Amino acid sequence: MLKARETVLEIDLNALTHNFEYLKSKLSDSTKFLAVVKAFAYGNDAATIATHLEQLDVDYFAVAYTNEGVALRDSGVTKPILVLHPQPANFKTLIDRCLEPSLYSARVFNKFIETVNKLNQKHYPVHIKFNTGLNRLGFWKNDVDYILSKLKEVDSIKVASIFSHLAASEDLNEQEFTKSQIETFSSISKKFISNLDYKPKLHMCNTSGILNYPEAHFDMVRSGIGLYGFGNSPEENTNLKPIASLKSVISQIHLIEKGETVGYNRAFKSSGFSKTATIPIGHADGIGRQYGNGNGYVIINKQKASIIGNVCMDMIMVDITNIPCNEGDEVIIFDQKYTAEELANTTNTISYEIITSISQRIKRKIIK
């Protein structure tokens, strides 16, 4: 592979295929696969990821917001797209672009019906979200009768699916709670379906749900982080391949005498002779200030070089006192070996945060 000559996020589509196939191998043949591509496909590149997954025959996509769905349609994605957290202000756009809303409260449910009626739609697909314990978004169990009575009054919408979201699918200490969520969802679904003359799809598993709760796969699963190569456990991480590698270069090397300082507010004070490298990536690129002052690191010549002083907007400085290297050499921030998850752990955060933070300023390079 060519060495990086500037800051670049390499996206390995073969790894994406591997992760998709691995996750699919956990499902029965009849279970559908929804790929979660919100937030630029977790910081990668939503259009590229979705187009590739469409070729692999994924069944559904999900995004968080309407504008993310519009961007996918603009780039030619034709499979159904569920919008997980739409706002009524965008319902007309959502319908114009054939996106499918999650309806999670009486307010958005009624506003959506109002909008589809105005637009003379018939049987517009919607997804009813139930809260079974996460207490974030969703109708409550005792809202079922209300929703059913409303559905009997209108033929402008049709329930494509009923779904819920697990609060702690990756935490095996919370198995009992997760099982109670699954039971609540099953009982809601039973009641719902017995009162309709068609059968909406049921789904509740995210990536860790797919891996840890096969009994809860229902008709479809929703995977995000697993597609991008993280399984929320050391064992599953070995079965998946991170698709993104963040690389950069050494812009300049400085020789620092004892007592000198490095960076803003003189946060690093040299206790002896040291060598530093300046790297063109900063907090505006997604390397937050918390990675500074010795917490985070980059890899140069197969060795960890810790980030010293404060992270700047466009740069970091790292300690290379004991690392043989030259200006122009490649720097790895994370890749398939030195993972984003390990780097995230240095500041007590998770893979999800660091990969979704990689800003749009960084060039994406697609590897097929």
Q: Identify which of residues 8 and 137 has a Cβ nearer to ligand PLP in the complex.
A: 137
331 vs 335: CA distance, rounded Å: 11
6 vs 178: CA distance, rounded Å: 45
Question: CB of 73: closest distance to ligand PLP in angstroms?
Answer: 20
40: left (phi over 0), alpha (psi -120 to 50) or beta: left
178: left (phi over 0), alpha (psi -120 to 50) or beta: alpha
Question: CB of 259: closest distance to ligand PLP in angstroms?
Answer: 47
Q: Identify which of residues 200 and 224 has a Cβ nearer to ligand PLP in the complex.
A: 224
Question: CB of 64: closest distance to ligand PLP in angstroms?
Answer: 7
CA angle at 182 for the pair 181 and 186, rounded to the nearest 5°: 115
Paired sense of beta strands 316-319 and 274-279, if any: antiparallel
In b/e form, how buried is each residue of 192-221, taking b as 16+ CB within 10 angstroms? beeeeeeebbbbbbbbbbbbbbeebbbbbb
Question: CB of 144: closest distance to ligand PLP in angstroms?
Answer: 20
Phi and psi at residue 338, to the nearest 5°: -95, 95
Q: Identify which of residues 227 and 316 has a Cβ nearer to ligand PLP in the complex.
A: 227
Q: Identify which of residues 138 and 292 has a Cβ nearer to ligand PLP in the complex.
A: 138
Question: CB of 36: closest distance to ligand PLP in angstroms?
Answer: 4
- Residues 109, 151: contact at Cβ < 8 Å? no
Q: Identify which of residues 97 and 165 has a Cβ nearer to ligand PLP in the complex.
A: 165
By annotation, the residues acting in catalysis are 38, 264
Question: CB of 170: closest distance to ligand PLP in angstroms?
Answer: 8
Helix, strand or coil, per DSSP, at residue 161: strand
Q: Identify which of residues 209 and 296 has a Cβ nearer to ligand PLP in the complex.
A: 209
156: left (phi over 0), alpha (psi -120 to 50) or beta: alpha
Interacting residue ranges for ligand PLP, rule: CB under 6 A:
36, 84, 165, 206-207, 222-226
Torsion (CA) 43, 205, 219, 234 in degrees, nearest 10: 80
CA angle at 289 for the pair 287 and 292, rounded to the nearest 5°: 90
